[in-house]
């Protein structure tokens, strides 16, 4: 390869890298503005370049905030969030051929499992927090969510599917562990022609 071609490739690669970085920074700003507007609280955006999840050697506090449209809100400290992503693929067998033809039909909603605990002072069961969480989960509409982890996947709304609140898993009277299962939700604007 000639010297001129090598220089052209280097310049093209540098231009592409600058464009990608600019796009990434712009998208981070848009997502941060969306979360701030939705929950009226600033949300930290994950930055893969500085690896904020390590938090300077300290354990990362993975706080999840759930909020309804009427403003009822609960903060879940040190939550564990599991996210499953699926795609709908249709596989068609062809006669006299090895393998199948795969058609990528759509990306399905994420499955989000949040595991955490509600805490209260020593020797006091967290009745009020459990009541508040149950009230949020009983909403007929989707629930707003904000956390560093769900932000990575652009998940802003969740629909509650099921949850477990087992007394059999208690270790301390003032700590109520729970597991919640959600599906991600996206708002759609439908245009109706009359």
Look at residue 108 and give its three-state secondary structure: coil
| Domains in the chain: ranges and CATH | 43-185 (2.40.30.200)
pLDDT tens digit sequence for 117-134: 888 887 788 888 999 999
pTM of the model: 0.62
pLDDT of residue 56: 45
Q: Pick the range with the lowest mean pLDDT from 8-12, 106-110, 133-137.
A: 8-12
Q: Which residue has the tokens 């929950």?
A: 39
State how beta strands 80-84 and 111-119 pair: antiparallel
Whether the CB-CB separation of 114 and 76 falls below 8 Å is answered with: yes
Distances (CA, A) of 143 to 39, 85, 120, 140, 154: 11, 19, 24, 9, 14
Whether the CB-CB separation of 53 and 148 falls below 8 Å is answered with: yes
């Amino acid at each position: 390869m000639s010297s001129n071609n090598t220089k052209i490739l280097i310049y093209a690669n540098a231009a592409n890298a600058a464009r990608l970085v600019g796009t990434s920074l712009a998208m981070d700003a848009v997502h941060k503005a969306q979360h701030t507007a939705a929950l009226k609280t600033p949300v930290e955006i994950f930055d893969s370049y500085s690896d904020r999840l390590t938090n300077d050697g300290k354990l990362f506090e993975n706080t999840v905030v759930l909020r309804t449209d009427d403003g009822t809100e609960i903060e879940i400290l040190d939550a564990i969030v599991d996210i499953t992503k699926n795609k709908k693929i249709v596989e068609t067998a062809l006669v006299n051929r090895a393998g199948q033809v795969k058609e990528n039909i759509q990306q399905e909603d994420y499955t989000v499992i949040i595991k955490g605990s509600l805490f209260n002072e020593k020797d006091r069961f967290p009745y009020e927090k459990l009541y508040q969480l149950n009230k949020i989960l009983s909403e007929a509409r989707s629930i707003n969510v904000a956390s560093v982890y769900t932000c990575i996947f652009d998940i802003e709304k969740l629909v509650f599917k099921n949850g477990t609140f087992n007394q059999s898993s208690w270790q301390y009277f003032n700590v109520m562990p729970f597991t919640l299962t959600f599906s991600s939700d996206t708002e759609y604007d439908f245009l109706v022609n009359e």
